[in-house]
Structure 1
Amino acid sequence: MKKIAMIPARYAATRFPAKLMQLLKDKTVIRHTYDNTVATNLFDEVMVVTDSEIIFNEITQHGGKAVMSIKQHESGSDRIAEAIVNMHVDIVVNVQGDEPFVQKQPLEKLLNVFDDETVQVASLMQVLYDEKFINDPNYVKVAVDKNMISLFFSRSVIPYLRDKNIAVTYYEHIGVYAFRKQALLNFTNWPITPLEAAEKIECLRYLENGVPLKMVVTQYMGVEIDTPEDLKRAAALL
């Protein structure tokens, strides 16, 4: 199977504008993400897909591959779909541009689930331990069944612990997806769904159209850069 990694990169992020161009030590966030994805050696090709000439130049001037989006897009998945529609590829991994601590092992585990031909879409998650983050709407939570198939994604706390004596595990959804090409193209042909619009979580569109996500647990993916505070935490890790 031909496997590629696509990194959607929007300059004007709502919560933290220009976050991908913020410096983390000696490199921008988007270059950390790109370089670390390439360094995994898991992909036939790695490319940034962006609506910004600033980000495009940041990648290409440092020897990377990037492509400009032609249309305006609501989600990173839509942006990637436009770029791959005429490409010969089997599996596409969507690595979010604000994930500067990309590592090989989680992405390899994600790719391996496609040995099961029934899997159409997969994504990563990690255990949330800190109550502060569990209650933070910037951290998207996911509930799964016993086979690690997604049941629901929410910015709210799921599950809600009505019985305080029950031990539950809280998972944070990490915005790293993998798709079979046709599953991604199907996604872009569906209109935005009500739950997706309400929560601003794009993968809910799959659930609302009857396509479950296979979830893969990873031990640690570092810090996703959503706020200035996240940038400070990421800098401390480096």
Structure 2
Amino acid sequence: MIIGIIPARYASTRFPGKPLIDIQGKSMIQRVYEQASQAKCLSEVIVATDDERILQHVQAFGGKAVMTHPDHPSGTDRCWEAYQFTVHGLQFKNSETTVNPKPETHYIINIQGDEPFVAPEQIDELGAVLDGSVELASQMIPVSDYEVLFDVGEAKVIVNQNFEAIYFSRQVLPFLKGVDPKEWHKHHIYYRQVGMYAYRSDILEKITKLPVSSLEKAESLEQLRWIQNGYKIKMGLTAYESHCIDTPEDVEKVLRLMAQ
């Protein structure tokens, strides 16, 4: 069984309250929820928030949501708390919890709360690699453009023959000696990370207890903490692009892209 969890914080430095912004008649969080709910691999979809306004809004349109602590450093940590609420009947409220044991869920997919047009098929692609032996998983797409390849905002990933991540970097790896950098993507298959993370429930518990690692701190990429501590990340190929909304200006940009 796979649970889809959508972390949704109200506070945002660049775009406060963005889960509740209107996008063609529906809030962003409602659009993400409805898209995720169409994924065949998910047994349940839950919004994990730190704000009562988001909680009430999700419940108002018929969605499921839980309140989580406001001080989580990442969506991964918020997913772990929400998973415990869902599986063990725990609900954060005024620092109190209640317990109501339920069957354990095997995998959790962390669905980005700022991708209102995420394809259900992309979620199913990720779900298809979760065979019980996979600890962690994500997705990648080949890079065929020089500017995208050298964009430090894009995390590139190197994989081994089993399509497990060896390393993630904002820089371009590997370096091609004797080749014009503008031609690198024509001589080597580079991948950039897109999409979501999936966690096996026992592994999710363990990685949320790890301290920030030196590689994670250097690159500002959370997944390097997991690799540095010996965990394996399975990378699945996808043809779906990620269209995130990080600023108010991104709304019109994403709408244009989806209309093409």
Alignment of 1:46-125 (within 5 A): 46-85=45-84, 87=87, 88-115=104-131, 117-125=132-140
Following superposition, the deviation at residue 172 of structure 1 comes to 2.1
Does the CA-based 8 Å contact 2:40-2:124 persist in structure 1?
no
1:130 corresponds to which of 130, 139, 145: 145
Paired amino acid for 1:120: E
- Matched positions, count: 236
Q: Is the 8 A contact 1:222 1:234 kept in 2?
A: no
Report whether the alignment pairs 1:189 with 2:209: yes
Report the residue type matching 1:130 in the other structure: D
Aligned partners of 1:193 and 1:234: how far apart in 2? 34
Rounded Cα–Cα distance in structure 2 between residues aligned with 1:172 and 1:104: 20
Identity %: 38
Deviation at 1:168, TM superposition (A): 1.7
Moved more, 207-216 or 13-22: 13-22
Moved more, 159-168 or 4-13: 159-168
Paired AA for residue 233 in structure 2: L
Query: What SS does the aligned partner of 1:85 have?
Result: helix
Residues 103 and 221, structure 1, Cα contact 8 Å, conserved in 2: no
TM-score (norm 2): 0.82
Larger Rg: 2
1:148 aligns with 2:163: yes
Structure 1 CA distance for aligned equivalents of residues 44 and 199 of structure 2? 15
Q: Which residue of 1 aligns with 2:226?
A: 206
**Contact 1:150-1:212 at 8 Å conserved across structures:** yes
Amino acid at match of 1:24: I
Structure 2: distance between partners of 1:137 and 1:234: 20
Where does the alignment leave 5 or more consecutive residues of structure 2 unmatched? Answer: 88-103
Q: Report the Cα offset of residue 173 of structure 1.
A: 1.1
Q: Which moved more, 1:30-39 or 1:12-21?
A: 12-21
Distance 2:35 2:248 in 1: 22
Give the whole-Å Cα distance in 2 for the aligned partners of 1:75 and 1:5: 16
Structure 1: tracts of 5 or more residues without a match: none
Judged with a 3 Å threshold, the aligned counterparts in structure 2 of structure 1 residues 170 and 31 are, in CA distance, closer, same or farther, namely: farther
- Tell me: CA distance 1:118–1:44, structure 2 relative to 1, closer, same or farther (3 Å): closer
Amino acid at match of 2:171: S
**Counterpart Cα distance in 1 of 2:136 and 2:235:** 9
Quote the RMSD (CA, aligned, Å): 2.1
Within 2, Cα distance between the matches of 1:119 and 1:102? 23
The 2-side partners of 1:163 and 1:97 are apart by 42
